[in-house]
Amino acid sequence: MLNSANSDYVTDALEAGFEVAPLSINTIPYHDKIANKSIYLGLKSIKGLSKDLALWIIEHRPYSNIEDFIAKLPENYLKLPLLEPLVKVGLFDSFEKNRQKVFNNLGNLFEFVKELGSLFGESIYSWQDLEDWTEQEKFYMEQELLGVGVSKHPLQAIASKAIYPITPISNLSENSYAIILVEVQKIKVIRTKKGENMAFLQVDDSKKKLDVTLFSDLYRQVGQEVREGAFYYIKGKIQLRDGRLQMIAQEIREAVAERFWIQLKNHDSDQEISRILDQYKGPIPVIIRYEEEQRTIVSPNHFVVKSTELEAKLGGIVMKTIYR
């Protein structure tokens, strides 16, 4: 596993515009390498992978598929705890992108190879299909085993079309005001001396963590809606406490990648459309296109749920609607 110093250099490199290259069993080096604005993590960085197995992998390359890799392995390496980390960090993605499928077939593959022995190449293993892990699940498995996520975190997709000017946690400074785009990882609710609830959140923007405080007034408004594992825009003031930056939240809104697009000829129906949108409040931003003006705006006041009923109500008023 990357030690703290290595984790720091990877974080610094990512913030400087470098990207972590995808991992492959046939090309991964033993030590980390940096070249051409890419970080190539090495086998040495994988938590729980022995040096002997890592060197064996390099010495016996290339492998034509997963079955070929398993067939070449000495019996003392045919153990699930030894190979599961390789699957979780994506070393077999070039052969099969569905990591959970590979993960759950490993045991049967071991038995298949053992039973056939030298006849293995003449037979075909029948893979049991399974739904893959989400990109978010993959990211956190990689982060646990490598010290950094390789897969694209869902926050990155939302950030690419953010509706607010967001600040990375690493760029926050004391006594400033900022909007961050984060995943809420932990929620701790406490009761104040006045008998009111407030909450402490631990959030992560996929590169760095931050503690966020929701005082009673804000918690009363949004506390029941904030969930662990969900994404949010949080606006607040940055303060220093116990030598660490934290945010005192002022506003919080759920962040989603989807948008609700409305195409209009002009502003004639704005009030009627606004009344309809108010009936379907949710987390999805509304984007309005006015064709006569050739102008597109993000509605500052309207966020909606995904609803065919909403689209039907707008159908006779607008030129077109679409969720995307």
Rounded CA-CA distance 89/140 in Å is 10
User: In 84-230, which ranges are E strands?
Assistant: 177-191, 197-204, 209-214
Please state, as a whole number, how many other Cβ atoms lie within 10 Å of the Cβ of residue 51.
10
* Over residues 110-124, mean pLDDT: 70
Mapped onto helix, strand or coil, the DSSP state of residue 276 is helix
pLDDT, tens digit (0-9, with 9 covering 90-100), for 164-180: 999 999 999 999 999 99
Quote the DSSP letter at residue 2: -
Average pLDDT, whole number, for the chain? Answer: 91
Q: Which residue, 142, 227, 155, is CA-closest to 189?
A: 227
Mapped onto helix, strand or coil, the DSSP state of residue 324 is coil
pLDDT, tens digit (0-9, with 9 covering 90-100), for 222-239: 999 999 999 999 999 999
pLDDT at position 8: 64
Contact 201, 149 (CB under 8 A): no
Q: Which residue, 46, 127, 51, 58, is CA-closest to 84?
A: 46
Classify each residue of 211-229 as buried b or exposed e, where b means 16 or more C-beta atoms within 10 Å of its C-beta.
Answer: bbbbebebbeebbeebeee
Please state, as a whole number, how many other Cβ atoms lie within 10 Å of the Cβ of residue 199.
20
pLDDT at 3 over 50: no
Rounded CA-CA distance 127/316 in Å is 51
Contact 159, 60 (CB under 8 A): no
pLDDT, tens digit (0-9, with 9 covering 90-100), for 54-86: 999 999 999 999 999 999 999 999 999 999 999
Domains of the chain (ranges, CATH numbers):
4-146 (no CATH), 157-254 (2.40.50.140), 260-323 (no CATH)
Give me the long-range contacts of 31-38 (CB less than 8 A, separation at least 24). 32/2, 32/6
pTM above 0.85, yes or no: no
Rounded CA-CA distance 192/195 in Å is 5
pLDDT at 128 over 60: yes
Local confidence band at 122 (pLDDT 50, 70, 90 cut-offs): low
Q: Which residues contact 188 (CB under 8 A, 6 or more apart)?
A: 199, 200, 201
pLDDT at 12 over 80: no
pLDDT, tens digit (0-9, with 9 covering 90-100), for 13-36: 776 778 888 999 999 999 999 888
Local confidence band at 6 (pLDDT 50, 70, 90 cut-offs): low
Give me the long-range contacts of 271-276 (CB less than 8 A, separation at least 24). 272/317, 273/314, 273/317, 273/318, 274/301, 274/302, 276/310, 276/313, 276/314, 276/317
